[in-house]
């Protein structure tokens, strides 16, 4: 589904990313792990459109998406989750989902000169889509409350729902377990796996190895900007080179 080839990114003279080949298979959850500074965030930033790569290629379902900005990537079916920031916390839960769709408001204003009825129908569809998503994770009853009041786990669910508003093929998920209470980790993991069962493909950067084990069909280990190893959770966690990379960091 997502093929990352020969992807490099430098900051000044520092080579932060130097990936040979990372494949994220369709309908699977692929983990990206590695010690701090290994380049995991830079990989997501470069694939997710925050940075342009210096060299290399990213293919999404057969289409070259290298260097596209986030809103173009979303149109193609690739979405990266972001932490619910303080600004988003000021909005209600429902507003967070409705505003997850880029360009909706501006397009509505222009287009509304021509077709108010069509716009109204689109907005109703978006609310319906948001409601369906929120009901799945038992957040619809809180739809009009400020997102700032949500627990860490509920915020993570909201991040995934915001991505799902774009009906993506692939979600790049940033540290789903960070700041999440242990009881909510299971809820979050089950929701991610239910989306996977519906065909959504995930790449996940995560430090929590229990979450990686629970979610991932396979795992890439990164060190020093490169993909050092790829295998099952068991294979990578029992490999002495991986242990050494973590201890050496």
Q: Residue 43 Cβ, how far from ligand ADP at the closest point, in Å?
A: 7
How many amino acids of this chain bind ligand ADP (CB under 6 A)? Answer: 10
Q: 10 to 29, contacts with ligand ADP by CB under 6 A?
A: 11, 16
Q: Residue 68 Cβ, how far from ligand ADP at the closest point, in Å?
A: 19
Nearest residue to 38 (alpha-carbon basis) of 175, 209, 227, 240: 227
Which window, 31-39, 105-113, 130-138, 142-150, contacts ligand ADP (CB under 6 A)?
A: 31-39
Which of 3, 5, 23, 37 forms a contact with ligand ADP (CB under 6 A)?
37
Asked whether the beta carbons of 215 and 29 are under 8 A apart, the reply is yes
Residue 41 engages ligand ADP in binding (rule: CB under 6 A): yes
Could you give the 3-state DSSP secondary structure of residue 236?
helix
Angle ∠(98,133,182) on CA atoms, nearest 5: 110
Which window, 33-41, 63-71, 92-100, 178-186, contacts ligand ADP (CB under 6 A)?
A: 33-41
Which of 31, 34, 48, 168 forms a contact with ligand ADP (CB under 6 A)?
34
> Alpha-carbon distance 236 to 229, whole Å?
7
Q: In this structure, what token pair is assigned to residue 108?
A: 């509505």
Q: For the chain, give the number of residues.
A: 249
Residue 66 engages ligand ADP in binding (rule: CB under 6 A): no
Residue 81 engages ligand ADP in binding (rule: CB under 6 A): no
Q: 103 to 122, contacts with ligand ADP by CB under 6 A?
A: none
Listed as own residue / partner, the contacts of 135-144 with beta carbons closer than 8 Å and 24 or more positions apart are 136/191, 136/194, 137/161, 137/187, 137/191, 139/93, 142/93, 143/92, 143/93, 143/94, 144/92, 144/93, 144/94
Which of 40, 101, 155, 162 forms a contact with ligand ADP (CB under 6 A)?
40
Residues engaged in binding ligand ADP (CB under 6 A): 11, 16, 34, 36-42
């Amino acid at each position: 589904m997502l093929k990352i080839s020969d992807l490099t990114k430098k900051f000044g003279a520092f080579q932060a990313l130097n990936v040979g080949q990372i494949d994220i298979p369709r309908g699977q959850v692929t983990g990206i792990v590695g010690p701090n500074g290994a380049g995991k965030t830079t990989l997501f930033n470069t694939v997710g459109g925050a940075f342009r790569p210096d060299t290399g290629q990213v293919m999404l379902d057969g289409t070259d998406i290298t260097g596209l900005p986030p809103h173009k990537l979303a149109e193609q079916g690739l979405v990266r989750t972001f932490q619910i920031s303080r600004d988003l916390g000021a909005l209600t839960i429902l507003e967070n989902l409705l505003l997850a769709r880029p360009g909706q408001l501006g397009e509505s204003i222009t287009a509304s000169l021509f077709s108010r009825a069509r716009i109204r129908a689109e907005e109703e569809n978006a609310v319906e889509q948001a409601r369906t998503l929120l009901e799945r994770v038992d957040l619809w009853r809180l739809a009009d409350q400020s997102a700032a009041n949500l627990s860490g786990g509920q915020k993570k669910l909201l991040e995934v729902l915001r991505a799902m508003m774009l009906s993506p093929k692939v979600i790049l998920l940033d540290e789903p377990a960070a700041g999440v209470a242990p009881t909510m980790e299971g809820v979050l993991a089950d929701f991610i796996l239910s989306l996977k069962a519906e065909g959504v493909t995930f790449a996940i950067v995560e430090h929590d190895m229990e979450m990686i084990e629970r979610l991932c069909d396979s795992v890439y280990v990164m060190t020093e900007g490169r993909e050092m190893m790829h295998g099952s959770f068991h294979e990578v966690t029992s490999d002495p080179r991986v242990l050494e990379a973590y201890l050496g960091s």
